[in-house]
């Protein structure tokens, strides 16, 4: 479906292609249900539908791999591919420059058009497609048609579809990213509302669910663009937590629990002789309590591979890193700890910025 930067919910996956993890969103089952209902209505065999689903899945996956490959040529790494019922999302480590985003966005639909064109050419041309109903070759005809649908749908100039990303890239070259995202996201919301109205009128539950997904994705894109505009050009030191508590490497999880209850802090730097050696974040704390018990030393369960941020790092860049690394980053100048940067205090910083509060320097 699209190449997207910084989805806030990364997850591991057992399947990986070209080193890129692939996972299924829970709503992917909607696509399977839609195809199965169609098979029952048309009285097609289970074997034929299974083959069709495999072919359709492969087509969507090739679409997303095209995003990842083109992104790699522009120096943009793909974190993971997430499969949705309306396609997939190639999560990029950062939003590409407009020219790169344009080519990355168009790569997916082009692959679907190539697949559809190749199948049609092998079958003898468009006129032959209609003659294959009820024949074994109809499976290929359906795959050709669905690939054409996938390309056409994703070329609609509205976020989160690839056409919306291409539109944003084109407008960004002339009016800037914030304006471009606002226009493309508004197009996505308009499309979602139109689909929702049609789905309600026709009784198509699948279309209504798709409309909801599109609206939510467009809203997320719009909010992310506003957040980027409010954080770009501002150093991390302006938003970091400067009043914080630390834990000694010899402290236990029981002591960490007491500190967790006594303060509003959820992530604690772990120090040894004044030097930071790790981070006891919420995930590490809960895992340690569940597996090791409250009398375990924090040094045994802490995260040693924590996010290290310079106080002069651009906040927009730091937020992107924070989204990938976890809930907390340590702001350090050489080996000296200056503060913490968390998703919660970034949200509070954005709220204040929207209210017109100027950042500290």
Spatial separation of the C-alpha atoms in residues 361 and 349, rounded to whole Å: 13
For Cα atoms 320, 257, 327, give the angle at the middle one, nearest 5 degrees. 5
For range 217-230, the mean pLDDT:
84
What pLDDT was estimated at residue 28?
Answer: 66
Q: Is 357 helix (H, G, I), strand (E, B) or coil?
A: coil
Spatial separation of the C-alpha atoms in residues 157 and 193, rounded to whole Å: 15
For range 334-349, the mean pLDDT:
91
Give the global pTM.
0.71
What pLDDT was estimated at residue 13?
Answer: 41
For range 206-219, the mean pLDDT:
87
Rg over alpha carbons for the chain, rounded to the nearest Å, is 24
What pLDDT was estimated at residue 9?
Answer: 41
Q: Is 114 helix (H, G, I), strand (E, B) or coil?
A: helix
Residue partners of 46: CB distance under 8 A and separation at least 6: 39
Condensed to tens digits (0 to 9), the pLDDT of residues 86-104 reads 567 777 877 789 999 999 9
Condensed to tens digits (0 to 9), the pLDDT of residues 40-54 reads 666 666 667 778 888
What pLDDT was estimated at residue 81?
Answer: 84
Condensed to tens digits (0 to 9), the pLDDT of residues 230-239 reads 888 899 999 9
Lowest mean per-residue pLDDT among 71-75, 81-85, 279-283, 297-301: 81-85
């Amino acid at each position: 479906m699209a190449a997207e930067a910084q989805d806030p919910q990364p997850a591991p996956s057992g399947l990986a292609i070209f080193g890129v993890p692939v996972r299924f969103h829970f709503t992917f089952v909607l696509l399977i249900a839609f195809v199965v209902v169609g098979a029952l209505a048309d009285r097609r065999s289970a074997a034929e539908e299974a083959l069709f689903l495999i072919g359709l899945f492969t087509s969507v996956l090739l679409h997303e791999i095209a995003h990842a490959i083109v992104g790699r040529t522009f120096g943009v790494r793909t974190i993971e591919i997430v499969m949705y019922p309306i396609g997939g999302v190639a999560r990029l480590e950062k939003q590409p420059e407009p020219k790169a985003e344009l080519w990355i966005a168009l790569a997916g639909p082009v692959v679907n058009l190539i697949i559809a064109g190749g199948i049609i050419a092998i079958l003898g041309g468009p006129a032959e497609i209609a003659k294959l109903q009820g024949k074994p070759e109809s499976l290929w005809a359906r795959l050709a048609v669905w690939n054409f649908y996938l390309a056409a749908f994703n070329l609609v100039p509205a976020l989160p579809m690839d056409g919306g990303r291409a539109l944003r890239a084109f407008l960004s070259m002339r009016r800037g990213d914030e304006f471009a995202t606002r226009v493309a996201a508004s197009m996505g919301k308009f499309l979602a509302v139109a689909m929702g109205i049609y789905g309600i009128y026709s009784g198509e539950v699948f279309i209504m669910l798709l409309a909801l997904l599109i609206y939510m994705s467009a809203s997320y894109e719009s909010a992310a663009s506003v957040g980027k505009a409010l954080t770009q050009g501002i150093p991390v030191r302006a938003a970091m937590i400067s009043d914080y508590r630390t834990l000694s490497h010899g402290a236990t999880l029981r002591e960490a629990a007491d500190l967790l209850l006594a303060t509003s802090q959820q992530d604690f730097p772990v120090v040894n002789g004044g030097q930071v050696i790790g981070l006891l974040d919420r995930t590490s704390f809960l895992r340690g309590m569940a597996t090791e018990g409250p009398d375990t030393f924090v040094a045994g369960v802490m995260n040693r591979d924590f996010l290290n941020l310079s106080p002069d790092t651009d906040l927009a860049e730091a937020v992107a890193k924070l989204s990938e690394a976890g809930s907390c980053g340590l702001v350090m100048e050489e080996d000296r700890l200056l503060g913490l940067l968390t998703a919660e205090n970034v949200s509070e910083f954005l709220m204040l910025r929207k209210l017109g509060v100027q950042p500290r320097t």
